[in-house]
């Protein structure tokens, strides 16, 4: 585990992307922050990038146009397992829908669901407990 990690933000809301990017900077946990407004673009990056460029953490929104967060997860499963095992997904959503929460908890690739706005203290505790950061 390195001291700082690469974080990928996937959210169609530009304001949320900006705020989450600022939160990640303030937390001082990342050496690189990749942000994507579309899940299709984020997935393309993961498909085409060398393993060394992959993020250790993906903060993923659920409700997005073209490809939503759950569609992203379905495609994510098809990516090489050796890459996926070093990458953790936290869903960050404003959805209060019980079905969305259940679906997120059922996914073996989702570490947790955090409701927006992002709670940096909660995220930091989650990352430390799962040994993603020290």
pLDDT score, position 96: 74
**CATH assignment, 5-129:** 3.40.50.2300
**What CA–CA distance (Å, rounded) separates 21 from 8?**
9
* Reported confidence tier of residue 101, pLDDT bands at 50, 70, 90: confident
Q: Helix or strand or coil: residue 7? A: strand
Look at 45-59, 95-109, 117-131 and tell me which has the smallest mean pLDDT: 95-109
Domain boundaries along the sequence of the chain: 5-129
> Mean pLDDT over residues 32-61, rounded?
97
Q: pLDDT tens-digit profile of 8-28?
A: 999 999 999 999 999 999 999
d(CA 44, CA 2): 25
- Distances in Å between the alpha carbon of 15 and those of 4, 18, 36, 71, 95? 24, 5, 12, 22, 17
Rounded CA-CA distance 106/15 in Å is 29
49: pLDDT confidence band, cut at 50, 70 and 90?
A: very high
- pLDDT score of 1: 45
């Amino acid at each position: 585990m390195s001291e700082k990690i690469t974080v990928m933000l996937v959210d169609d809301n530009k304001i949320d992307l900006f705020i989450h990017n600022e939160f990640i900077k303030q937390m001082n946990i990342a050496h690189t922050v990749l942000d994507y407004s579309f899940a299709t673009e984020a997935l393309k990056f993961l498909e085409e990038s060398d393993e060394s460029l992959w993020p250790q953490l993906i903060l993923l929104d659920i409700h997005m146009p073209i490809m939503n967060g759950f569609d992203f997860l379905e495609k994510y499963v098809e990516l090489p397992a050796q890459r996926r095992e070093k990458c953790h997904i936290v869903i960050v959503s404003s959805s209060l829908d019980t079905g969305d929460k259940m679906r997120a908890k059922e996914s073996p690739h989702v570490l947790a669901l955090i409701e927006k706005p992002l709670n940096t203290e909660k995220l930091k505790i989650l990352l430390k407990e799962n040994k993603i950061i020290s």
